[in-house]
Amino acid sequence: MAATPASLAVSPEAEEVRALVRLPLTQRKPVGYDPELLKTYRPNRTHYLPAAMRKHLSQIGVSRCQGPAGGNSCALREIAVGIDGSVFHPIEGPQRIEEMFDLFLKKAQAIQDPFEHAFFSMVHLPYLQPFEDVNKRV
């Protein structure tokens, strides 16, 4: 794998994460879904993106989204799923998945900043793995 170009330099913490995910699967510690990540998020008070970054993004981009995409085209999963090449174990059980998905939707709908809203969704949808398929393409 090629070295990271200087223009894509990352923090020391990110380098640690990179080193961990490059370990063979047999050397990685299995982890499960942690509902507290979603439960402790407070829309418009907790931010994954720093204020300066949200301001910069709002200056350089315009949201053209007219509403939620996809509608009800994907049903919530009722089966266990795995992620090839990963030691992550997504949450299981239709009731638990629905509970966390409903909480995700409630919090996402309350986020006013469009870039924080997008980042929040990009963090939580793949982490929750709520659908039988398309989770990586959501």
Inside any domain, residue 112: yes
Inside any domain, residue 129: yes
Task: Give 3-52 pLDDT, tens digit per residue.
Answer: 555 557 889 999 998 899 899 999 998 999 999 999 999 999 999 999 99
Inside any domain, residue 57: yes
Angle of CA points 59, 123, 102, to nearest 5°: 110
As a whole number of angstroms, the distance between CA 135 and CA 115 comes to 20
Inside any domain, residue 11: no
Inside any domain, residue 3: no
Q: Whole domain around residue 98: which residue ranges?
A: 30-63+76-138
**Mean pLDDT computed over 88-115:** 95
Task: Give 55-64 pLDDT, tens digit per residue.
Answer: 888 888 754 4
Inside any domain, residue 17: no
Inside any domain, residue 19: no
Inside any domain, residue 104: yes
pTM of the model: 0.65
Q: Count structural domains, the chain.
A: 1
* Average pLDDT taken over every residue of the chain: 85
Cα 125 to Cα 1, 7, 23, 96, 134: the distances in Å are: 28, 28, 25, 14, 10
Residue type, 44: N
